[in-house]
Amino acid sequence: MAWSKKYRHPGGSGGKRGHSNMSHWEPTEHVKEASRKARRNEDKDVVAEEREEAQGTEHSTTDFHQDNDSLASRPATHRRRKRPRRQPVERPPRGMAEETLNELLEVLRRERYKFHYAKDQYAFQLLSYALAGETSLQAIRRGPFASLLQKPAVRESLLSSAGTGMLTRDMVFASWPAPTECYLLTFSGWGAGQVSRSGKNLVVQLNFSSNHDRAYRRLVRPEAGRRPFAYALHPVSNARNTLAWVRIDLADDLSHALIEEVQCDWLRIARRIRQIDQEDGAGDDSGTVALRGASTSRHRLRVYTQKVLRPHTLIWAEAALSAALEVLVEEIGVRRIFYHTWRSGNVLKGIASGHGPPKSLYKRLPRSFAFVETAEAPPLLGNLVETEDLHFFLLEFPPSR
């Protein structure tokens, strides 16, 4: 707040006395000029010091004493202040470049990508990637893929035909289970938050088929352009109804990848709506239910959430991860795939305590896919994990033939 004339400070705001309250103008000017010279000399010294640091040169012992002598002979106001040497800042590595992402999207979007899936199909898929030629069952049982042989579908269809104790990829393909669901894969990019390093992620979107969409429109009756079971700010398809998605970070040379996130909004919202419906109208099929962007009868909503969505509830997580691995291994050619543990994901993506994702998606799911926990960090993360004791999951396949 400015002083009024009535309450002007005794020292004034100008004139010969000046703001310093000195009684004579001339001495003040001398002091000011000396201060200006001191500041200029100091700035020159700082610039010279920074130039030397940038060139990586250091003073010799003789030069150091000479500098000290010259400094001592200067007036006190001209002496250079010693400043601590600046430590180089190691910047975190940049994420996947947008140019790399666009090239991947151009290739992946060339054709309509249908993805057929059945319960535990991933076990056959992983065995087909793991087999390098003819491989003995004994060798598989000693390796990281041993748990896949315990799947009921694998024991009944694949192992029963391996009378010689040897497995080949052709035998795996011949025993492949008949698909029960058909999905459509779409692809996009993401870099808006919850990423381990700055940059872009590839998003593999697992979308419902047209059969589901017809039942959805008939029972839920969504308004045009509205989707009550999806969040538009999440990496979902703009044109399809996305059941789930997987976010992936890739190394610049595509030598390895990191599964950043496996998530499903559709079923989570449907489960919450079903819980509210059971609390408010248990045993009552009459009445209308208003949703975000839809209005339908209680009966139709129950048919949709309890019957139409039930098959997808049982397989969505393994289907989404299986689709992502198919894209990485068969389309891009990645053979080393890392996966976040629950702790590493929360730490590196900055997820606050109490807001983390379901632990099963970062513990039980990767282990069922034969991922092995390791202290090795994905090389693409660079120095980001040096100060943290973090573990990851790793899935490795032999080179393809």
For range 127-147, the mean pLDDT:
93
Q: Tell me the three-class secondary structure of the chain, residue by residue.
A: CCCCHHHCCCCCCCCCCCCCCCCCHHHHHHHHHHHHHHHHHHHHHHHHHHHHHHHCCCCCHHHHHHHHHHHHHCCHHHCCCCCCCCCCCCCCCCCECHHHHHHHHHHHCCCCEEEEECCCHHHHHHHHHHCCCCEEHHHHHCCCCHHHHHCHHHHHHHHHHCCCCEECHHHHHHCCCCCCEEEEEEEEEECCCCCCCCCEEEEEEEECCHHHHHHHHHHHCECCCCCCCCCCCCCCCCCCCEEEEEEEEECCCCCEEEEEEEECCHHHHHHHHHHHHHHHHCCCCCCEEEECCEEEEHHHHHHHHHHHCHHHHHHHHHHHHHHHHHHHHHHHCCCEEEEECHHHHHHHCCCCCCCCCCHHHHCHHHHHCCCEEECCCCHHHHHHHCCCCCCEEEEECCCCC
- pLDDT score, position 317: 98
- pLDDT score, position 11: 44
Angle at 161 between CA 158 and CA 165, to 5 degrees: 95
Distance CA 157, CA 294 (A): 45
Who has greater pLDDT, 62 or 346?
Answer: 346
Tens digits of residue pLDDT in 299-356: 999 999 999 999 999 999 999 999 999 999 999 999 999 999 999 999 999 998 888 8
Q: What percent of the chain has pLDDT over 70?
A: 76
Residue 272 has pLDDT above 60, yes or no: yes
- pLDDT score, position 10: 43
Least confident stretch, 99-103, 121-125, 238-242, 381-385? 381-385
For 78, counting Cβ atoms within 10 Å of its Cβ (0-12 exposed, 13-18 middle, 19+ buried), the class is: middle
- pLDDT score, position 26: 47
- pLDDT score, position 323: 98
Residue 72 has pLDDT above 90, yes or no: no
- pLDDT score, position 4: 41
Residue 59 has pLDDT above 90, yes or no: no
- pLDDT score, position 364: 97
Domain limits of the chain?
24-88, 98-118+179-396
Report how far apart, in Å, the C-alpha atoms of 18 and of each of 11, 12, 14, 253, 270 are: 7, 7, 5, 67, 75
Residue 207 has pLDDT above 50, yes or no: yes
User: If you average pLDDT over every residue of the chain, what do you get?
Assistant: 83
- pLDDT score, position 305: 94
- pLDDT score, position 384: 80
Tens digits of residue pLDDT in 77-134: 445 555 555 444 344 567 788 899 999 999 999 989 999 999 999 999 999 999 988 9
Residue 76 has pLDDT above 60, yes or no: no
Angle at 330 between CA 151 and CA 213, to 5 degrees: 75
Tens digits of residue pLDDT in 172-205: 999 999 999 999 999 999 988 889 998 899 999 9
Take residue 102 and report the two structure tokens written for it.
């666009």
